Structure 1
């Protein structure tokens, strides 16, 4: 039983600070991913390979760690958002599947990951991530959710014609609805967590695009580099101000 407790401390407690940092991290994933693939002109495929390598290194370090490290955890989360950004763009644009097709494919992969995780472990709650096997499912699921969020954000803002601010209001409203459901209904908390986790990614994607796209296209025309630096600074401040504790193990 002690081994389970040691494993679960690597996953943070889900609090308001968690969600604030999560949204900032997903926004950074958008601006950082675009900075490498577009501003540096490396392309989506090369960008994906670079960030996938960073993601694998971070996940291995996270899984080998014997204690909860907020810095390591959030570096791994940011790695999933950056590789999710470039991978989604590669699938949607370079492969020509389109936002709708890419979103449908990623929904299938995400649901399949959750289904296999549930069948193998009996729960998909983050409080039961108490073994290396569960950690693998956890990070694979997060990877799919981050990639899906990028595709959904781009589809809503561009194809659906809502623009960045309109899409941000949509996803922000959906997140608010989940908060209300958390306090006013008996909907399983695990379901609400994953729904919120998924929705924070498209919110971050459209906010990231809003920051760096030209004013003529509805953005603020910040450079991707400046936006990324500002977001890194914000995350560091939040990490210093808000004390993050490990989640309690569920047995």
Structure 2
């Protein structure tokens, strides 16, 4: 991207709404996947702890939605990538995305099979519309308000679908939580090995791994928190959520200080360039 073509920063007092030319997401490296994995598990355990608390499901879902909208508003008000606002938004998507998937099953009595297919269709629709509109799905091209809106829509859909998929394997297929986690841990190796050894499309490999991190994290969180008679370890959803939140806070604090995950070089944003190996998005 030509720096000379970058528009000037917004005037004082104006709502920045994702400054054009400013990358809005972190560099995809090991720290990204660690925090992403923890956030998926934290979203699952926090959602279950709140829904099963004295607040009740309706109030918890409402609070989850308010927190999600609030975090997303903060993210859009920040003109470029900031570790705290970005990962806060991811975590709130994790909590509310879990609630959205669970509401379909618990309140509307939709089978996990149907809800998994539904959210998979929603995710596919987001990807198709995003690709046709922007000609790229690359995480290295999130530098305009519209692209960021597509990005967060895709993230929310992956969380909801991943939650339903994890419950489908654990409950509908009767695999249990830890065997489900082992299944998804194996599946996540496919895009990794495909990118590293078979020169797979980096964008496709990235989003494939991103989708699978959700059921993997959710299965692990359920395995730790759920009672032993439900194939869990019985540690409790609340304690698991608190420990995971603390770990995320420590890691994000480190990223905020070191800024090691800030993307330094904007990648090409054309549709043809977005699929080249130079735009590496390795899981």
Same fold (TM over 0.5): yes
Measure the CA separation in 1 of the matches of 2:126 and 2:48. 27
Name the count of aligned residue pairs: 249
Q: Tell me the TM-score normalised to structure 1 length.
A: 0.94
Q: Tell me the TM-score normalised to structure 2 length.
A: 0.84
CA deviation vs aligned residue, 1:71-106 (integer Å, no higher than 9, x gap) = 111100001110011110001221111100000100
Asked if 2 retains the 8 angstrom alpha-carbon contact of 1:39 and 1:224, the reply is: no
Q: 1:176 aligns with which of 189, 192, 195?
A: 189
Asked if 2 retains the 8 angstrom alpha-carbon contact of 1:149 and 1:199, the reply is: yes
Quick check: 1:224 aligned with 2:224? no
Quick check: 1:11 aligned with 2:16? no
Q: 1:186 aligns with which of 184, 199, 209?
A: 199
* Larger relative contact order (Cα-Cα within 8 Å, sequence gap ≥ 6): 1
Measure the CA separation in 1 of the matches of 2:137 and 2:105. 28
Aligned-pair Cα RMSD in Å: 1.6
Look up the match of 1:235.
248
Look up the match of 2:6.
2
Shift of 1:64: 1.4
Measure the CA separation in 2 of the matches of 1:56 and 1:96. 26
Look up the match of 1:245.
261
Secondary structure of residue in 2 paired with 1:250: coil
The structure richer in helix per residue is: 1
Shift of 1:216: 2.2
Q: 1:34 aligns with which of 48, 51, 68?
A: 48
Structure 1 ranges of 4+ moved more than 3 A = 3-6, 240-244
Measure the CA separation in 1 of the matches of 2:22 and 2:72. 14
Larger Rg: 2
Shift of 1:5: 6.9
Measure the CA separation in 1 of the matches of 2:98 and 2:146. 26
Gaps of 5+ in 1: none
